[in-house]
């Protein structure tokens, strides 16, 4: 079955206190039939109404990108502010709104239109937001388009019993990790191996501090929804985490499982220098999950401690959002885990300094773990404070 050529997103946000406990609701419909393709009702912690509205728009646009790629999109909201700002008629003056609007614009396909609707015509999305606030639902529910043949009248919202679950939207409350790679150090700029606690342990350069400050400012609008900032105990990640935690108004927690791979005798050397001294060892290590640098760790060894750290963080912050400041190898390992991808996939990922990746881990269902990747290797729009080529450890 081919997907719809056009879709409608219905969006609402709710905040009990403004700011206060907040959630959003998003409904994706086939524009030609009115059939519900998917619903998302998710709590986002403490936030304002505007943040909740923008979060719902981002969620709806994400649903459209995943389930109706290539379709024309109309977004309907009862927030005049969001409609006018996204349509380009009003300026976005509040700094907390700019990164959210930028993310929505990134997700919106060309030609996306934004329509204001009265609140009484937005009851479906409003219901989802309030159900999320009441703890009655969390995450995405997919509804087969074949189950609804006729458009739903405005005055009647028909429930579809026992909608099928999709792997990207399991039941239960997700624990969401915002994975931040540390900013650059002198070793990063020189493309030198820079490992964990047994390494030379360089600190951030001024460029690295600037990168992390930019990332911290980008994350600031969601500060109320962040439960904790967790860091690897390595100097460059601790320094990065302290900058972020100060901006978000949080304390820094330490998780040793998220430290970088140990490179042993290669630490502080460039690839060329290692090749000169130990070409056979380098050849054996490249692309291998089992081989470790002399005195260092293999990828499988790193995976074991990273996933042990993940278990501890998820247990301590279950159902919450956590900023995790870590390194290239642990972040790639967590992304591979979320995608249920083989560990070899880490060799096919690039990760920029001070970038943000977002993964969510859900409670098990029938003994089966569920997770999703929400964002990968993202940087604030228009940020020129880093070099995409600086992707070494």
Domains in the chain (CATH in brackets) are 6-147 (3.30.420.10), 175-378 (3.40.50.1240)
Identify the pLDDT of residue 383. Answer: 59
Looking at the DSSP bridge assignments, the partners of residue 357 are 179
Q: Which of 380, 391, 390 minimizes the C-alpha distance to 212?
A: 380
Which listed residue (10, 39, 207, 260) is catalytic? 260
Identify the pLDDT of residue 162. Answer: 36
pLDDT mean by block of 10 residues, the chain; 393 residues: 83 90 93 89 89 94 90 95 93 83 91 93 94 87 43 36 37 82 90 85 93 94 91 95 95 94 92 92 90 93 95 92 96 95 93 94 74 89 49 43
Identify the pLDDT of residue 149. Answer: 33
Q: Which of 247, 264, 274 minimizes the C-alpha distance to 178?
A: 247
Measured over the CA atoms of residue 139, residue 145, residue 149 and residue 150, the dihedral's sign is positive
Which listed residue (10, 53, 182, 207) is catalytic? 182
260 is catalytic: yes
Calpha distance 292→290 (Å, rounded): 7
Task: Tell if the pTM clears 0.85, that is, is over it.
Answer: no
CA atoms within 13 A on the CB side of 68: 28
**How many C-beta atoms surround the C-beta of residue 258 within 10 A?**
29
Identify the pLDDT of residue 324. Answer: 98
Q: Which of 73, 93, 71, 72 minimizes the C-alpha distance to 81?
A: 93
Identify the pLDDT of residue 389. Answer: 38
């Amino acid at each position: 079955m081919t997907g719809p050529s056009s879709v409608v997103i219905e969006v609402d946000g709710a905040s009990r206190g403004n700011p206060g406990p907040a959630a959003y609701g998003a409904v994706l419909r086939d524009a030609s039939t009115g059939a519900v393709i998917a619903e998302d009702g998710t709590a986002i912690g403490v936030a304002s109404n505007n943040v909740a509205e923008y979060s719902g728009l981002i969620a709806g646009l994400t649903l459209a990108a995943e389930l109706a790629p290539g379709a024309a999109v109309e977004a309907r909201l009862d927030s005049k502010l969001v409609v006018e700002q996204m349509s380009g008629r009003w300026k976005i003056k509040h700094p907390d709104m700019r990164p959210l609007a930028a993310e929505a614009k990134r997700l919106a396909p060309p030609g996306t239109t934004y329509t204001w609707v009265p609140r009484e015509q937005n009851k479906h999305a409003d219901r989802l937001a309030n159900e999320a606030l009441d703890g009655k639902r969390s995450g995405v529910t997919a509804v087969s388009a074949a189950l609804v043949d006729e458009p739903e009248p405005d005055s009647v919202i028909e429930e579809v019993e026992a909608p099928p679950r999709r792997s990207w939207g399991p039941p239960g409350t997700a624990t969401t990790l915002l994975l931040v790679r540390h900013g650059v150090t002198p070793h990063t700029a020189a493309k030198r191996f820079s490992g964990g606690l047994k390494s030379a342990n360089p600190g951030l350069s001024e460029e690295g501090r600037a990168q992390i400050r930019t990332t911290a400012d980008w994350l600031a609008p969601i500060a109320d929804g962040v439960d904790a900032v967790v860091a690897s105990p390595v100097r460059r990640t601790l320094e990065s985490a302290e900058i972020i935690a100060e901006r978000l108004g949080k304390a820094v927690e330490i998780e040793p499982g998220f430290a970088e791979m140990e490179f042993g005798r290669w630490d502080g050397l460039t690839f060329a220098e290692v090749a000169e001294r130990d070409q056979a060892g380098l050849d054996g290590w490249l692309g291998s999950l089992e081989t470790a640098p002399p005195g260092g760790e293999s990828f499988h060894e790193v995976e074991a401690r990273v996933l042990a750290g993940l278990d501890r963080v998820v247990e301590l912050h279950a159902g919450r959002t956590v900023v995790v400041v870590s390194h290239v190898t642990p972040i790639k390992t967590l992304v591979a885990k979320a995608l249920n991808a083989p560990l070899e996939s880490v060799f096919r990922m690039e990760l920029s300094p001070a970038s943000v990746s977002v993964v969510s881990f859900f409670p098990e269902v029938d003994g089966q773990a569920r997770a999703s990747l929400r964002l990968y290797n993202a940087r604030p729009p228009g940020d020129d404070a880093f070099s995409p080529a600086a992707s070494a450890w």
